[in-house]
Amino acid sequence: MAEEPRHGSAALVAPDGSSTPLTDEMYEALAAYARKLERTRRPAVVAVDYVSTGEAASMLGVSRQTLNRMLEAGEIPYERYGGGHRRVLMSDVLAYREASRSGGKV
């Protein structure tokens, strides 16, 4: 079940001005799709279960090099694919971000 939107959270605004509140997870999925669309200039199906290291770094507000150090230290799980590229589950990135914001165990 999706989390309830909070005050000050993102919203999807339709051309008619109506809006739909978005949870953090929904926002991150749409933002990942928008970044992919901007890069490719064409609609594409994007698997939002996984994000690139660049997208994960952006979500956490750190450089890609810092994120790679975090991955190597085991702070966030990752997988290697396609000749050594790394990808991380969006849910792991969001969980890490939430834990670091709340001061919990990361």
Which structural domains are found in the chain, ordered by start?
Answer: 11-102 (1.10.1660.10)
This prediction's pTM: 0.56
pLDDT in tens, 20-73: 888 877 788 788 778 777 777 766 555 568 888 998 998 899 999 999 999 999
Concatenating the DSSP letter of every residue in the chain gives -PPPP-TT--EEE-TTS-EEE--HHHHHHHHHHHHHHHHHSS-----TTEEEHHHHHHHHTS-HHHHHHHHHTTSS--EEETTTEEEEEHHHHHHHHHHHHHT---
- Among the ranges given (12-16, 26-30, 36-40, 90-94), the one the predictor scored with the smallest mean pLDDT: 36-40
Q: Which long-range contacts (CB under 8 A, 24 or more apart) does 52-60 make?
A: 52/85, 52/86, 52/87, 53/78, 53/86, 53/87, 53/88, 56/88, 56/93, 59/28, 59/93, 59/94, 59/97, 60/93, 60/96, 60/97, 60/100
Residue 36: predicted pLDDT: 74
pLDDT in tens, 40-52: 776 655 556 888 8
Q: Would you state the structure tokens that stand for residue 7, as one six-digit string?
A: 């005050």
